[in-house]
Structure 1
């Protein structure tokens, strides 16, 4: 599936609109104030993606989450589970980034730590956890005089 198809969206300011949005792309929604940008992005697409995700969880897990109301739309196809970034006023800290201001950095770090595969940046080989004895054996197996870096 390479697109998200919305048919008959009538949430808030939307007037029975139909649209096709490409998937796996950065999409920007622009328009005049009151034209339905937030109604489309948050109240329709995000609400339905979040609602479908929560519905897929076990009854036990659902009891801790609130189920979002189904948006007023005839059909949405190709929608994945969704996350939304809260809009906040910017921090005056010069070290702040989009990731830290929106707090999505914490979620991405967790996602990459659990799903990602660490690799050596120089040799592109997967890195694996080692016990202390494995590390000692590896160091002792190196030729005498070889330089090592301990972190």
Structure 2
């Protein structure tokens, strides 16, 4: 994971394109199934770096937007965890989404425009539950977007 983090500073979209699905699968596994906070932190840092790398490229009108397709995979994999009744994987999903969203303004816009409506829908659907229930499930944390311009 540390090597991936370092590679993202050197390589670009073109070099990473073919490996994006397997890189995402590995990062997801490390965050969802980790027994080590250090490994989880490295996985989140690698996701942040990878998303930032994909955000840096200039797009031609006819080019595939790798950032958009990469974020779509992340959103697809995390989305259903945000709606699960047992809420077991809500917090790891939120951490993954936060790591991706914090990489760039484009990533933040994409993640928030997809996740916030879903969360609001869930909140309204389950508004009979006290807010304490949701805060406890998320460890009292909130999704924050921050990036360096």
Which band: TM-score by shorter chain?
Answer: under 0.3
User: Greater CA radius of gyration, 1 or 2?
Assistant: 1
- Scaled by the length of structure 2, the TM-score of the pair is 0.27
Q: If each structure's strand is expressed as a fraction of its own residues, which one has the higher value?
A: 1
- Scaled by the length of structure 1, the TM-score of the pair is 0.27
